[in-house]
Amino acid sequence: MTEIVIGLLAIAIGVLACFAGYRVFRIVLPILGFLVGLGIGAQLAEALFNEPYLGSVLSWVIAIVVGLIAATIAFVWWYVSVALAIAGLGYAIGYGAAAGVGVGATAAMVIGLALGVLFAIAAIVLRIPTGIVIVVSAFWGASALLGGTLVLLGRIEPSQLRNGTVDVVIADSLVLLAIWLAIGIAGAVVQWMTTPRDEAPGGAVPAV
Burial 127-161 (b: 16+ CB within 10 A, else e): ebbbbbbbbbbbbbbbbbbbbbbbbeeeebebbbb
pLDDT of residue 186: 96
Q: How far is CA 14 from CA 109, 120, 122, 164, in A?
A: 24, 21, 24, 15
How far is 36 from 84, CA to CA, in rounded Å? 11
Residue 8 lies in a domain: yes
Residue 208 lies in a domain: no
**Cβ atoms 141, 30 nearer than 8 A:** no
How far is 88 from 46, CA to CA, in rounded Å? 22
Domain range enclosing 24? 2-199
- For the chain, 208 residues long, give each residue's pLDDT as a single digit of tens: 678 888 888 899 889 888 988 877 767 677 777 877 787 788 788 878 888 877 788 888 998 998 888 888 777 776 666 777 677 777 777 776 776 677 776 787 788 788 888 888 877 776 666 777 788 788 888 888 988 898 888 888 776 776 555 666 676 678 888 898 899 999 999 998 887 755 544 444 444 3
Residue 182 lies in a domain: yes
Residue 148 lies in a domain: yes
pLDDT of residue 200: 47
pTM beyond 0.85, yes or no: no
